[in-house]
A = this chain, B = another copy of it.
Amino acid sequence: MAARLGDIVARLGGELHGDADLLVEQVAPLDSAGPAHISFLASPRYRGALSSSGAGVIIVPPADGEALTRAHIRTRNPYLYFARVAQMLNPEPATTGGVDAGASVHPSAALEPTAHVAVGAVIGAGAVVGAGARIGAGSVVGEGARIGAFSRLHPRVVIYPHCVVGERCILHSGAVIGADGFGFARESDGSWVKIPQIGRVLIGNDVEIGANTTVDRGALGDTVIGDGVKLDNLIQIAHNVRIGDHTAMAACSGVAGSAVIGRRCMIGGSANIMGHIDIADDVVVSAVSFATRSIRAKGVYTGSVPSMEHREWTRNFSRLRQLDAMAERIRALEQQLATMQGNKDN
C-alpha cells in the first residue's frame, strides 16, 4: 500500500521538506532505494550515501536536513520514525475470525468470535482466546491457558496448561511456553526425584518471543515476563525468572532459575545470566558474557573473550593456568628489588 508524504507527516509528525502529494510504497535502505521508497539516515557514518541515494524521500535528523535540496522529513530520531513508517506501509493483513476445518477446539474453551484458529491448531479445555487473536497452524494452547486480545501465535507454538499470554503479543514458531522447570531433588544414590512444577508462565502485553525460544513454568510461584519484553530466538528462560518491562534479549541467551532482571535491560546474544541473582534496571550485558553475580548499578557489563589467530591463542592462553604463578613472581621481584634498594640506600 502506498502513502502520501503529507499523510505520513500528519500521522507521525516530523517536518516535511518536499511535495506532500508524493507517494511512497515501501521502506528501503539508502543504497537500494528507488523513487517509490522512503529511506532514512540512522548514523552520520552513512551521510555519504545521502546524495547518491535514489530514494524518493529520506528521513534525517534536523541538522542533516539543512544541506538537503531533495525531499526529506526532519525528525530527531530517524530510526524510530522509520520504524513507524515501516509499520504504516506494512500493516498486518486483516484476519477473519473463526475456526478452520481441521482445527480442534475443546467445547469448554472460550473463543472470541473475531479470534482465528488455523488448521491443525488445538485449543484445550477451558482455554480462553481473546478478540482478534490468531492461533497459527499446528499451535497448541493447553488446558486453561489464556491468550490475550490481538496476540498472534505463528505456526507450531506450544502454550502449556494454565499459562497466560497478554495482549498484542507475537510468538514465533517453535516457541514453547510453560514446559516444566528443571527441578529435581537428589537421592543418596545419585538418582533424581522430580519436583512437580506447579507454577505458571505469565506473559505481559506487547511481548515478542522468538522462534524455538523456551520459557519454563515456575516451580511453586510463576515465571513472569513483563510488558513490552522482546525475546529473540533460541533463548532459555528458566523457572521462576522475572524479566522487567521493555527488557530485550538477543538470540541464544539464557537465564537460569529465579534470576530477576530489571526493566529496560539489554542482554546480548549468547549471554548467560546465573540463577538467583538480581540485575538492576537499565543494565546492558554484552554478547557472549556471563553475569555471575547480582548487578546493582546500571551500566555495561562484559566478559567475553575475542577470538584471535589460533597460534596466538595457543601461545597466550596456555598462560592462563600460570596467571597466579605470574602474579607471585612479580611480587617476589618487587620484594627483591625493594631489598636491594634498601641495602644500597643504607
Contacts and interface: CB of A to CB of B under 8 A. Distances in A.
Contacts of A291: 306-307
B122 A119 contact: yes
Interface in A279-321: 282, 285-293, 299-310, 312-321
In this complex, the interface size class of chain A, counting residues with CB under 8 Å from chain B, is 35 or more
B176 A173 contact: yes
Contacts of A312: 321
Given A138-B122, A212-B174, A319-B327, A286 B307 contact: yes
Contacts of A304: 290, 292, 305
Interface in A256-277: 256, 263-264, 269-270, 272, 274
Contacts of A323: 316-317, 319-320, 323
A233 interface: yes
A118 to B, nearest CB: 8
Interface string A210-243: 1110101000110000001010111010100000
A325 to B, nearest CB: 8
A256 B288 CA distance: 12
A272 B314 CA distance: 19
A21 interface: no
Contact of A236 (B138, B252, B282): B252
A208 to B, nearest CB: 7
A254 B256 contact: no
Residue from A312, A313, A337, A341 having most chain B Cβ neighbours under 10 A: A313
A128 interface: no
A4 interface: no
A77 B193 CA distance: 12
A246 interface: yes
A80 interface: yes
Nearest to A265: B190
B182 A83 contact: no
Contacts of A301: 307-310, 313
Interface stretch (A26-34, A65-73, A108-116): A26-34
9 contacts: A28-B220, A87-B193, A87-B194, A174-B174, A176-B211, A182-B250, A191-B206, A286-B307, A290-B305
Question: Which 4 A-B residue pairs are closest in the complex by CB-CB distance?
Answer: A303-B307, A83-B185, A190-B264, A300-B310
